[in-house]
């Protein structure tokens, strides 16, 4: 096996791939709640919401559907 030389681009690429992998792992088990403090939008991670609860949640929350690298997740915000 040959040794790959260090460059800033390789370091960035490896770090970026690692971050994307960690994001995908996190989004497989979590969704987000969006709330505001003053004019600043913040996101709080919450456990994954089962799809059968979406209809019940729509009475209290807006539900936004997103996808990151093939992993689906939702963001909820109070009405």
Taking the domains of the chain in order of start, what are their residue ranges? 30-79
63: buried, middle or exposed (CB in 10 Å: 19+, 13-18, 0-12)? middle
For 7, the token pair is 């460059």
Give this prediction's pTM: 0.80
What are the pLDDT tens digits along the chain (79 aa)?
566 677 888 888 889 999 999 999 999 999 999 999 999 999 999 999 999 999 999 999 999 999 999 999 999 999 9
């Amino acid at each position: 096996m040959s040794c790959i030389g260090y460059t800033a681009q390789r370091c960035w690429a490896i770090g970026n791939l690692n971050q994307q992998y960690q994001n995908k792992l996190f989004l497989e088990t979590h969704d987000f709640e969006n709330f505001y403090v003053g004019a600043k939008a913040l996101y709080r991670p919450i456990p994954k919401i089962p799809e059968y609860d979406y209809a019940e949640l729509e009475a209290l929350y807006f539900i936004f559907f997103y996808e990151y690298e093939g992993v689906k997740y939702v963001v909820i915000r109070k009405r």
